[in-house]
Amino acid sequence: MSSQDRALASMVALTPPDRWGKQCVAWVESRDAECGKDAKDGFLCARHATVAKNRWEKQQAKRQAQKQKRAQHRAEHMPDWLAERDRIDAELAKRTQPLTTDRAFSGGVGTGQHRKHLRRQFSDANVERVGALLQRRQTLEAMIGDHDE
């Protein structure tokens, strides 16, 4: 049996596929039992194959509508997300940049200016803010996705 036959049968069956036999596996609510007629179309009788196809088409239409709605939402918000990501990148650069790139400046005894910068950079408030910015940036990256600028 094909994967399409399994997919259609799963639209109307309650039992797991490993328990499907040669008879229709569709669940009949009024009898509270499986159909039991001879399967003619994959795992289903002709009647339940039609029911399953109708449910499948309805589900596909619903998925397509959701996909269009997501695409529209994404298109509407993309400029805002890109701008927010740029603001976050600028703030992260400001909060995490070293005072200087000269290694001799931070070696040895150091200076008061350097110690003050390190205390500020590694303060609880700054570390907390950098963490929040990184988390928000990760969320934005997930929403932006493969957007080509």
Residue 105 pLDDT: 62
Mean pLDDT for 57-86 is: 95
Residue 104 pLDDT: 64
Question: What type of residue sits at position 145?
Answer: G
Residue 123 pLDDT: 85
**Distance (Å, rounded) from C-alpha 23 to C-alpha 38?**
5
**Distance (Å, rounded) from C-alpha 39 to C-alpha 22?**
6
Residue 66 pLDDT: 97
13-17, 30-34, 115-119: range with lowest mean pLDDT: 115-119
Q: Considering the chain, what percentage of its residues have pLDDT values greater than 70?
A: 88
